[in-house]
Structure 1
């Protein structure tokens, strides 16, 4: 992350990842806001502030809930399949309620309130093509695999090989590969959201550094993003107090 590009924007600190990302921020065509189920950072007040700032800054904003492989995340933590799927449904319903309430509080017109489940957008041909590209890169490029594996190992507490994970029932360890599915599902939006959603250019945002960003926005490699896609670190100052 290029901290020299960081700027204070009202209640937020905005850090474009690269000079190209700064150019996309100035263009302000589109922002994709990922809201992870089960992440306590995304409370209603924080979401409301993010939506309000984004609507005032970008021509279009979309919110996405990465739901498709959430149960796999819980399986990787040692939950049984039944419990993992139930927990995923509960968390997805909860975060969708919080997003709806944040939209309402923001005062943004309803016709501009766009919220998607990742599982719905995953049916689009553009997404499917990018998803295949990510899987092929993981299978053929050692650096891509290592970076993605380290990312998921830090983000998801994978169950020990004994199967005694964080779930309430001891189950056979499902394997660290399950934890990769969630990341693999998200990566197409970091690579080429404009091709998926039909916008001229786009930035995806997160509130913490993204470990795999270097694979996409600097240097060469199989997952290099086109120039119309970028990343910003968006920190809500009130949420950090």
Structure 2
């Protein structure tokens, strides 16, 4: 998935970005509410991780409601991007204000990475209208919670980025995803992208799953074959 992290604490932000990238997510990171609003207005993300205490702009002190203003701005534009608030503020009033402003979940710092990952999966499951974490397409099954993939009942071992490509395709079965759309799921800002990276991962997936599972539309992109 492509995630936007909005966090002004550089140590927390860097550790979270690295940990989430190791889980196969593309993570972009901004530090203030102005950058968050601008980025959300110009690019698409699968999920937003949002700190509440944020400065309005670089060099300014953090405001207690900086993140809340970003959330209200996002929802005021009718955007339905899932949002998980990450904050050290655990008062009941803060939790209620965050949820009422449109957050899908609220996680108090400090927290364990495993809990954050579970909450990301839960929010995305609800957002997709699914009762189960697992994605199923015919004989193909992918479970983001366990990072397990099986095809025709047999386990399939995938790298993190192979998993990310397959997950993106399974989240939109039948839809044709362009190379650029798949690259967005693999790489954050500043990461080097090989010109044929997506083609390489699709080729590797076809070797492991069979050539018929992922189809290509010449000049357009890739899609899953009919279940």
Identify the structure with bigger relative contact order (alpha carbons < 8 Å, sequence gap 6+): 1
Normalised to the residue count of structure 2, the TM-score between the two structures is 0.31
Judging by fraction of residues, say which structure has more strand: 2
Normalised to the residue count of structure 1, the TM-score between the two structures is 0.29
